[in-house]
Amino acid sequence: MKFSVRLQLSAMMFLNFLIWGFWFVTMGTYLSKSLSAKDTEIGLAYGTQAWGAIVAPFIIGMIADRFFAAQKILGVLHLIGAGLLYYISTVNNFSDFYPALLGYMILFMPTLALVNAIALGQIQNAEKEFSLIRVFGTLGWIAAGLLLGYFGWEQNMVLKNTFVAAAVISAVLGLFSFFLPNTPPGKKDQQASFAEIIGLDALKLLADKNYLIFFLASMLICIPLAFYYQETNLFLNEIGVERAASKMSIGQMSETAFLFLMPLFFARFNVKKMLLIGMIAWAVRYVCFAYGDTGSSMWLLFVGIALHGICYDFFFVTGQIYTDNKAGERIRSAAQGMITLATYGVGMLVGFWVAGNITEHYKLPEGGHDWPQIWRIPAVIAAIISVLFLLFFKDNKKATV
């Protein structure tokens, strides 16, 4: 691959995740403090990510794969998204905020698959080269958190600026996308069934008892996962942690480090142990949050954030590889689409709803929330899922990478 192409693809990944990271982490705090939204409404707002994930396969399967070049669709989605993000920064009530955000996330979530498709379309050896480009997406998310701390928008509660900044970057990436390497539709002359488009061909994998248990565990673990994405920034701000978004970027730094270390762990542990380590880490993380504070137990908060690398990589990356091994080449894409729809779609949708209602239930009359009690709930959920997975999942083979 030419250096100029590698540079283009790396910049594309960086900007795509920089846009998302700028506003997503602090949205709960923004809605609570600036729009006086209820916790249940914050749950609805974060649930737009799940609706976007559910709709994304239709956009990719029915449009991107068959009619238009991926980079052109990426450009159009980001240009329209820039307008919606700017509009979101101007509204002052949740009833106007929510439909605009829902529209935006239906446009944004397909870009996650599009940037992968554009990058993979230029790569000769995906196993060796793709992670070196994809890592720039994580670096973009880290940069967003650090920039939020540098500008002081979170500390000064001017978080509407996060949407303005994301709108500007979205417009830049939208224009830049039209100059990316051409990635034409790969199935232009093929007729796809509805089942193929949304990955239902992969349902046959569920006939395997072990894969069915993994599939159900993946959906269920997204319930405690949603608590982290939705509530952590609000929690850290309420208890007085300065530049919370910047400190939360430690989680993405950990994710990057463990991503490079994954081959070493795969050589040592089988699939069951890898998945279990990931699930147990979720329970430990929330225990750290329940008992951490800004005093002598501040270290617990940092441990909880840093565990993100184990939580995400050990479960979700291992799960993607396990799914790939089970599916084989013929239904590989359908299988990955199915597990993504189940986790980031259905699982996260339920998780955001549960997290919003529980957080609303533990709101204190004098203001703030009973955070120790809130965090104990996802800790218990993750622990129960871990025990059930330990008892019923019997596949002790190692994953092949």
**Stretch 349-354: mean pLDDT:** 92
pLDDT of residue 187: 54
> Over pLDDT 70: what percentage of the chain?
89
Interatomic CA distance for residues 156 and 29, integer angstroms: 12
Residue 192 domain-assigned (yes or no): no
- The model carries a pTM of 0.82
Interatomic CA distance for residues 315 and 238, integer angstroms: 30
3-class state of residue 59 by DSSP: helix
Domain of 89 in residue numbering reads as: 1-181
Interatomic CA distance for residues 216 and 99, integer angstroms: 30
Cβ atoms of 26 and 245 closer than 8 Å: yes
pLDDT of residue 119: 84
Regarding whether 235 and 135 lie in a shared domain, the answer is no
Does the structure show a pLDDT above 80 at 128?
no
Final residue of a structural domain among 147, 181, 215 = 181
Cβ atoms of 341 and 57 closer than 8 Å: yes
**Stretch 124-141: mean pLDDT:** 79
Q: How many domains does the chain have?
A: 2
Regarding whether 214 and 167 lie in a shared domain, the answer is no
Residue 401 domain-assigned (yes or no): yes
Regarding whether 215 and 156 lie in a shared domain, the answer is no
Radius of gyration of the chain (CA): 20
pLDDT of residue 59: 66
**Stretch 43-72: mean pLDDT:** 78
| Axis-axis angle for helices 209-238, 39-59 (nearest 10) | 140
For residues 158, 162, 168 and 171, what is the CA-based torsion angle, rounded to 10 degrees?
Answer: -150
CA-CA distances (angstroms) from residue 34 to 9, 27, 94?
Answer: 36, 10, 10
Regarding whether 56 and 158 lie in a shared domain, the answer is yes
**Stretch 362-384: mean pLDDT:** 93
Residue 286 domain-assigned (yes or no): yes
**Stretch 111-125: mean pLDDT:** 80
What's the pLDDT tens digit per position in 203-250? 788 888 999 999 999 899 999 999 998 999 899 999 999 888 889 989
Q: Which long-range contacts (CB under 8 A, 24 or more apart) does 289-298 make?
A: 289/232, 289/235, 289/371, 289/375, 290/371, 290/372, 290/373, 290/375, 290/376, 290/379, 291/372, 293/239, 294/239, 294/240, 294/241
Final residue of a structural domain among 152, 181, 210 = 181
Residue 377 domain-assigned (yes or no): yes
pLDDT of residue 185: 74
3-class state of residue 193 by DSSP: coil
User: What are the φ and ψ backbone dihedral angles of 369, each rounded to 5 degrees?
Assistant: -140, 160
Quick one: pLDDT band at residue 179, thresholds 50, 70, 90? Answer: very high
30-39, 52-61, 142-151: least confidently modelled range: 52-61
Does the structure show a pLDDT above 90 at 265?
no
pLDDT of residue 20: 94
**Stretch 116-132: mean pLDDT:** 75
Regarding whether 99 and 50 lie in a shared domain, the answer is yes
| Axis-axis angle for helices 318-327, 332-340 (nearest 10) | 140
Regarding whether 203 and 176 lie in a shared domain, the answer is no
Regarding whether 109 and 61 lie in a shared domain, the answer is yes
Closest C-alpha among 374, 73, 382 to residue 225: 382
Q: Which domain CATH number covers 235?
A: 1.20.1250.20
**Stretch 268-278: mean pLDDT:** 88
What's the pLDDT tens digit per position in 77-108? 999 999 999 999 999 999 999 999 999 999 99
Final residue of a structural domain among 181, 207, 226 = 181
